[in-house]
Amino acid sequence: MMIRNVLLAMIAAPLALCSFSANAALRVLACEPEWGALAQELGGSLVDVSVATNALQDPHQIQAKPSLIARARNADLVVCTGAELEIGWLPVLLQQSGNAKVQPGQPGNFAAADYVRKLDVPTQLDRSQGDVHAAGNPHIQTDPRAIAQVATALGTRLQQVDPAHASQYAQRQADFMQRWQQAIARWTAQAAPLKGVPVVSQHKAFVYLYDWLGLKEVAVLEPKPGVEPTAGHLQQVLTALKDVPVRMVLYAAYQDPRSSEWLSKNAGIAAVKMPFTVGGTDGAKDLFSLFDDTIARLLAAGEKR
Amino acid sequence: MNKLLRASLALALVAPFGALADTQAEIDALRHEIDAMRAAYEARLQALEQRLKASEAAAATPTAPALTATPAASTATNAPIAPSAAVAPVVASSSRGANAFNPSISLILSGLYTRTSRDPANYAISGFPLSTDAETGPGTRGFSLAESELGFAASIDPWLRGAASIALHPDDTVSVEEAYIQTTSLGNGFALKAGRFFSGIGYLNPQHAHTWDFVDNPLAYQALLGTQYGDDGVRLTWLAPIDQYLELGAEVGRGRSRSFPGSDSGRNGAGMAALTAHTGGDIGDSHSWRAGVSVLRAKANEQSLIATNAAGEQVTNSFTGSTRVWVADAVWKWAPNGNPTRTNFKLQAEYLRSTRSGSLVHDGGSLVHDGGNVDGAAADYRAVQSGWYLQGVYQLMPRWRVGLRTERLNPGTPDYGLNAESFAGSAFRPRKNTVMVDFNPSEFSRLRLQVAQDRSREGLADNQLFLQYQTSLGAHGAHSY
């Protein structure tokens, strides 16, 4: 009896749903909020963006939960960071989605890190070094110049997967790029005082930001990438800081702030919560305010002393 | 390369004409033709070389952002970060040659120390006749290598993906746990899997041992599905095109002899068929769930079952018939804001109900029959048995998790037909309670302590202690929900 019902459902459901799928916008599934925001900037009302994770989640540690599988099933384009950031969950998500359009190698599968020059590429691959990424540091979204490169590639990709609206995408992209380049100029000028400032990071999450603004990372609280800070290692960092006049310790919104706060208290430096992505702080509402807030927080902490 | 190409082209063109080209004019014409072809090829090669150079340059220096006066300078000041950067994309893509296409390889290494108060050699689950092949109970006492597993996976071509996991058992035997190909390109939510794989029924059944939250699988799985149901066959799944997750699956399989409750039937048709339906979703950012119902039907032909007769002796019966197993499963996960890094909780429960009907040939042991059925003759057999477990695992701080599991089995009142008087009915219901603590230094390693009181044997409580390590080497596995 139940088997028969299941079979009936199997036949009836696709028939019932055929009628819905005709005229919808291009469905984009972004793995992280920054790419969701970028797709929204570039696609406007032509795209229907859904984001798989929020700013308070660690993008390394997401599970291929049912809601995400359902969304991958229905996506026309999946926009992720790549560079192995999502290696623990995205492959399963795509395999279980039964969606041919978004499989690796298809136009519907976009990996942002493919279009950016990566930093921290390990010369030696061994897990004794912690959770290292063979392709390099994947946290590219902390540098707006990298976002500009991704925007160029993503704009082209949107035109490719939705050729009917190619001219509109091109127009939106040109408009975004102009506003973005102006904003980069503004941020770069605002952040000039930060150049050469020595800082500590909780996770190696900001190398692109440092590369852009010229901040100097003198220590990392995680003894190895992805390994929780230990009391012993924190003590070592504290001792090392006696010789270097560090101004601040940076942690991402999704991280447990306790180790940064401990260092802040014991070394007498500012602990700065970075939005890291769109939605990480109240101020970081979209891509532009993400960097407005990032720079403002860094400047505030830099001036405290 | 270029020369070789030219020479072979010339040879290929000249050779067949050799006999015919007897006049000077023809030879000249041929020479001109070859020259023209050579020129054309060289032009194309040059064009290709130029394109290659251009794309290499583009990859090495990505489109320079317009309004950044400082990037070069700031890169220079950050000497420790900069140097390796530009090399990256090139290293990743070239230089690995033929090995670049090797499948990703992972190795699970696991070891176990077991201490039990009862001898595991005569482990049994009272009221549940188990196959002679069944891997049930706590295994061996003392130190042992737990199951190690070698996994391979890669794309086969743009349409297929393949994966295999080879289990290396502590007794120096090797078995193929899974070996299947899977479509990636059917689209419309369909996926087809063929080969040997764990059935998609229930929640725990498709999961590999190294992803379990406890050392062993629940009693209900051990008693009703031979610990884990895997078979050779085909599985088709379809994911509904709606926002709510809804996956339907259908399987047919051989019904291998190692796949309790099935056994090889020697028929052309399928010995096993299963249907699965799962749905799930999120409740806010912090909660997610999945639930489902599955049914599996397997045929058995002269399946040897170890049972206990009315005299308390172990006897081997032979069952021929079919078994239907219903599985209802549900899992709920909680993590604050959906970030499980610091704390998270997972609650899962499954209910299994098995109906076996067919005939049983029984070995009467020392029992003397007054009339009724005699040894070696078949008699009707029908048994409805069920079991459930409920477990919760809580990560109380990074790296540390604790778990509790409680489980019950109900052997029902099997109808032995004419064999009835050889088997004594008992109202005994096996049960077990388990506590575990695990420590995860990284996502690739785990140390686990598990203590259980296993009351599977009527009247005998078995206190079990396990100390286990589990590690994962090589390719970073991605786990399902």
B88–A210: do the CB atoms touch at under 8 Å?
Answer: no
CA distances from residue A189 to A196, A212, A300, B67, B326 in whole angstroms, order as listed: 14, 12, 15, 11, 67
Considering CB atoms only, which of B86, B185, B337 is closest to A57? B337
Q: Give me chain A's average pLDDT, please.
A: 90
| Res B130: pLDDT | 86
pLDDT of residue B38 exceeding 80, the answer is: no
CATH number of the domain at A192-303, please? 3.40.50.1980
A221-247: per-residue pLDDT in tens?
A: 999 888 888 899 999 999 988 888 898
Range 381-420 of B in CB contact (< 8 A) with A: 398-399
| Res A225: pLDDT | 86
Report yes or no on B277 lying in a domain. Answer: yes
Among A126, A145, A206, pick the best mutation site for testing chain B contact (most B Cβ within 10 A).
A145
Considering CB atoms only, which of B71, B84, B340 is closest to A145? B71
Q: Which residue has the higher pLDDT, B79 or A36?
A: A36
Q: Taking residues A153-179, what's their average pLDDT? A: 96
pLDDT band of residue A72 (cuts 50, 70, 90) is: very high
Q: Taking residues A136-157, what's their average pLDDT? A: 96
B108-125: per-residue pLDDT in tens?
A: 999 999 999 999 988 989
Report the chain B residue with the minimal C-alpha distance to residue A129.
Answer: B442
| Res B2: pLDDT | 52
Q: Which fold has domain A24-186?
A: Rossmann fold (3.40.50)
Report yes or no on B82 lying in a domain. Answer: no
Among B84, B186, B213, B399, pick the best mutation site for testing chain A contact (most A Cβ within 10 A).
B84
Report yes or no on B434 lying in a domain. Answer: yes
pLDDT band of residue A128 (cuts 50, 70, 90) is: confident
| Res A9: pLDDT | 53
Instruction: Give the separation between CA A66 and CA B243, rounded to whole angstroms.
Output: 10
User: Cβ-count burial of B2 within 10 angstroms (0-12 exposed, 13-18 middle, 19+ buried)?
Assistant: exposed
Chain B residues whose CB is inside 8 A of the A145 CB are 65, 68, 71
| Res B277: pLDDT | 98
Token code pair at residue B415: 């109808």
Chain A residues whose CB is inside 8 A of the B296 CB are none
CB contact, 8 Å: B95 with chain A? no
Report yes or no on B376 lying in a domain. Answer: yes
pLDDT of residue B443 exceeding 60, the answer is: yes
Domain ranges of chain A: 24-186, 192-303
CA angle, residues A141, A147, A152, in degrees to nearest 5: 150
Chain A residues whose CB is inside 8 A of the B161 CB are 95
pLDDT of residue A208 exceeding 70, the answer is: yes
Among B55, B56, B63, B74, pick the best mutation site for testing chain A contact (most A Cβ within 10 A).
B74
Among B242, B252, B325, pick the best mutation site for testing chain A contact (most A Cβ within 10 A).
B242
Q: Taking residues A91-108, what's their average pLDDT? A: 94
What CATH code is carried by the domain that includes residue B229?
2.40.160.10
B158-188: per-residue pLDDT in tens?
A: 899 999 999 998 889 999 999 999 999 898 9
B272-318: per-residue pLDDT in tens?
A: 999 999 999 999 999 999 999 999 999 998 888 888 877 778 888 88
3-state secondary structure chain B: CHHHHHHHHHHHHHHHHCCCCCCHHHHHHHHHHHHHHHHHHHHHHHHHHHHHHHHHHHHHCCCCCCCCCCHHHHHHHCCCCCCCHHHHHHHHHCCCHHHHHCCEEEEEEEEEEEEECCCHHHCCCCCCCEECCCCCCCCCCEEEECCEEEEEEEEEECCEEEEEEEEECCCCCEEEEEEEEEECCCCCCEEEEEEEEECCCCCCCCCCHHHCCCCCCCHHHHHHHCCCCEEEEEEEEEECCCCCEEEEEEEEECCCCCCCCCCCCCCCCCCEEEEEEEEEEEECCCEEEEEEEEEEEEEEEEEEEEEECCCCCEEEEEEEEEEEEEEEEEEEEECHHHCCCCCEEEEEEEEEEEEEEEEEECCCCCCCCCCCCCCCCEEEEEEEEEEEEEEEEEEEECCEEEEEEEEEEECCCCECHHHHHHCCCCCCCCEEEEEEEEEEEECCEEEEEEEEEEEEECCEEEEEEEEEEEEEEECCCCCEC
Token code pair at residue B359: 């005939």
Domains in chain B, number: 1
Considering CB atoms only, which of B82, B186, B444 is closest to A98? B186
| Res B425: pLDDT | 72
| Res B343: pLDDT | 94
Range from B6-15, B220-229, B314-323 carrying the lowest mean pLDDT? B6-15
CB-facing half-sphere around the CA of A89: CA atoms within 13 A: 21
Q: Which residue has the higher pLDDT, B52 or B105?
A: B105
| Res B452: pLDDT | 97
Q: Taking residues B416-444, what's their average pLDDT? A: 88
Chain B residues whose CB is inside 8 A of the A214 CB are 70, 73-74, 77-78
Report for B145-159, B368-382, B409-423: range of highest mean pLDDT = B145-159
CB contact, 8 Å: B82 with chain A? yes
Q: Which residue has the higher pLDDT, B363 or A61?
A: A61
CB-facing half-sphere around the CA of B84: CA atoms within 13 A: 15
Q: Taking residues B72-91, what's their average pLDDT? A: 34
B457-480: per-residue pLDDT in tens?
A: 988 999 999 999 999 998 887 788
| Res B32: pLDDT | 72
| Res B427: pLDDT | 84
pLDDT band of residue B423 (cuts 50, 70, 90) is: confident
B293–A84: do the CB atoms touch at under 8 Å?
Answer: no
Token code pair at residue B238: 């379809």
B78–A214: do the CB atoms touch at under 8 Å?
Answer: yes
A12-35: per-residue pLDDT in tens?
A: 554 444 444 445 799 999 999 999
pLDDT of residue B17 exceeding 50, the answer is: no
DSSP per-residue string spanning chain A: -HHHHHHHHHHHHHHHHHTTSSSPPEEEEESSHHHHHHHHHHHGGGEEEEESS-TTS-TTS--B-HHHHHHHHH-SEEEE--TTTTTTTHHHHHHHHT-GGGSTTSTTEEEGGGGSPPS---SS--GGG-S--TT----GGGSHHHHHHHHHHHHHHHHHH-GGGHHHHHHHHHHHHHHHHHHHHHHHHHTGGGTT-EEEESSS--HHHHHHHT-EEEEESSSSTTSPP-HHHHHHHHHHHTTS---EEEEETTS-THHHHHHHHHHT-EEEEE--STTSSSS--SHHHHHHHHHHHHHHHHH--
Instruction: Give the separation between CA A274 and CA B335, rounded to whole angstroms.
Output: 22
Report yes or no on B351 lying in a domain. Answer: yes
Range 409-468 of B in CB contact (< 8 A) with A: 442-444
Contacts with B458 (C-beta within 8 Å, 6 or more apart), sequence order? B126, B127, B426, B428, B430
Contacts with B23 (C-beta within 8 Å, 6 or more apart), sequence order? none
Nearest Cα to Cα of residue A145 among B179, B238, B113, B61? B61
Nearest Cα to Cα of residue B223 among B41, B58, B56, B352? B352
